[in-house]
Amino acid sequence: MIGFPTSFLWGAATSAYQIEGSPLADGAGASIWHRFSREPGRVVGGATGDSACDHYRRYREDIALMAWLGINAYRFSVAWARVVPDGNGTLNPKGLGFYDRLVDALLAQGIEPMLTLYHWDLPAALEDRGGWLNPDSAKWFGDYAQVLFQALDDRVRLWLTLNEPWVSAVLGYLTGTHAPGRRGLREAALAAHHLLLAHAEAVTAYRAVGRHRIGIALNLEPQYAASAQAEDVEAAARRHIYVNRWFLDPILLGRYPAEIPQLFGADWPRRALQRAGLIRAPIDFLGVNYYSRALVVDDPSGRPARGRLVKRRDAQLTAMGWEIFPQGLTEMLLWIRREYGELPVYITENGAACNDPLPERGRVLDPGRARFLGRHLIAAQEALGRGVDLRGYFAWSLLDNFEWAYGYSKRFGLIHVDFATQRRTPKMSARFYRNLICRGGANL
């Protein structure tokens, strides 16, 4: 088995709303998640990101933990409304100042920053103007991206435009389980289109001023038919278009899959697509967020892909109910290379929610998470050995944090957070990852 290159990035990932807390501090504007989490019934236990991991104030302590962990890269996101409180207009120097200090503190520890411009926390003021349904949203995002490029491109060398725009569009505009909580197939398709245009707007803007590399992080999930029945095989194929190709094709090929308008039917916003046209702005690398595979059966009532997810009776599941399926990562990485050609790839998220025990004598025994990381790194190594240009791996997540609609009920962290005291306790999986990084991934 081929080893990991010495240049490989061994990282951990987080996002602003999930860890920072202090959402309105120092002139920051509210985000759609600040609002959404306050709506009754939206988040388990009525939790909000008001405190989260208090990272906005404890970032130096957390960077010391990153140094202890031995990671050489850290993926974080910028809260748009901290930097531009009304989303499109006046800059908030104090908000930008936090990220300026964060980047400097990371670099001082030899940790490479990977900056995600948007990880779901749209400024609420822009939602009041239609949010991602407004055709102006792409320009709003491009303007915001420019601010960060100007301020941080002298030190940030890895940029991501969006995190998982499929989740933003589907959970935010179709299922309504994420902010802004809207429910409509047409709205989801329109939001997705504007997110894609926003991505292209930022990449195009970066080409004019940026000196380094920019990409996007997509949630990609291999779709397997639950049986050899033709209807299940066809349902898995439809979901593959819906979950994976809907975004990959426009970003990398400059066109939607031909099947997408058929899946959405009358809800596909044809006029919007003709008016705007798809901008294929070549990216420097692709971020792959991999968690599991989907097992699909035909479901004529399921909109838009007419497929329903099932679980094998003997499947090993994480605390999210997601099947542990490391080989799906290898297959997804190989498929991307076959389908879209040579493109540098980073695994920008991979990790597991586990029912961790409470800390005991300063230890948290989470062997399941350590095993999950090890098996997925072996799968990544397999892809490397078969020619995938894999440049790095970011464990999700550095810290237990706010898991969106699940609130604090699901823990993904390598480091346990006691949200009442904000005490951090590295878990067994953190020690496993630390030792692995020390060995450069050898002897997995």
Ligand X SMILES: OC[C@H]1NNC[C@@H](O)[C@@H]1O
Give the residue ranges of DSSP H helices in 210-363.
Answer: 230-240, 246-253, 259-264, 270-276, 327-340
What is the separation, in whole angstroms, between the first and last Cα of the chain?
10
Q: Does 322 help bind ligand X (rule: CB under 6 A)?
A: no
Closest distance between ligand X and the C-beta of residue 42, in Å?
Answer: 16
Which of positions 135-174 make contact with ligand X (CB under 6 A)? 164
Closest distance between ligand X and the C-beta of residue 37, in Å?
Answer: 14
Closest distance between ligand X and the C-beta of residue 379, in Å?
Answer: 18
Burial code (b: 16+ CB inside 10 Å, e: under 16) for 89-98 equals eeebeebbeb
Closest distance between ligand X and the C-beta of residue 14, in Å?
Answer: 8
**What character string, x for contact with ligand X (CB under 6 A) and - otherwise, covers 376-415?**
--------------------x------x--------x---
Please identify, using beta-carbon distances, which residue of 273 and 419 lies nearer to ligand X: 419
Cβ pair 340, 244 in contact under 8 A = no
Q: How does strand 285-289 pair with strand 307-310?
A: unpaired
**What character string, x for contact with ligand X (CB under 6 A) and - otherwise, covers 256-295?**
---------------------------------x------
Please identify, using beta-carbon distances, which residue of 232 and 323 lies nearer to ligand X: 323
Please identify, using beta-carbon distances, which residue of 112 and 164 lies nearer to ligand X: 164
Please identify, using beta-carbon distances, which residue of 263 and 288 lies nearer to ligand X: 288
Looking at residue 268, what DSSP letter applies? Answer: S
Please identify, using beta-carbon distances, which residue of 53 and 225 lies nearer to ligand X: 53
Q: Does 349 help bind ligand X (rule: CB under 6 A)?
A: yes
Q: Does 127 help bind ligand X (rule: CB under 6 A)?
A: no
d(CA 231, CA 51): 47
Which is nearest to 12 in space by CA: 421, 401, 409? 401
Closest distance between ligand X and the C-beta of residue 351, in Å?
Answer: 7
Angle at 303 between CA 333 and CA 279, to 5 degrees: 55
Task: State both tokens at 188.
Answer: 């989801």
Burial code (b: 16+ CB inside 10 Å, e: under 16) for 376-409 equals bbbbbbbbbeeebebbbbbbbbbbbbbbbbbbbe
Closest distance between ligand X and the C-beta of residue 320, in Å?
Answer: 7
Please identify, using beta-carbon distances, which residue of 161 and 289 lies nearer to ligand X: 289
Instruction: Please list the active-site residues.
Output: 164, 349
Using CA of residue 13, residue 17, residue 20, residue 26, what is the dihedral sign?
A: positive
Q: How many CB atoms lie within 10 A of CB 218?
A: 26
Cβ pair 233, 225 in contact under 8 A = yes
d(CA 314, CA 347): 27
Cβ pair 70, 434 in contact under 8 A = yes
Closest distance between ligand X and the C-beta of residue 269, in Å?
Answer: 26
Please identify, using beta-carbon distances, which residue of 132 and 412 lies nearer to ligand X: 412
Cβ pair 14, 414 in contact under 8 A = no
**What character string, x for contact with ligand X (CB under 6 A) and - otherwise, covers 1-30?**
--------------x--x------------
d(CA 400, CA 427): 10
- Residues engaged in binding ligand X (CB under 6 A): 15, 18, 164, 289, 349, 396, 403, 412
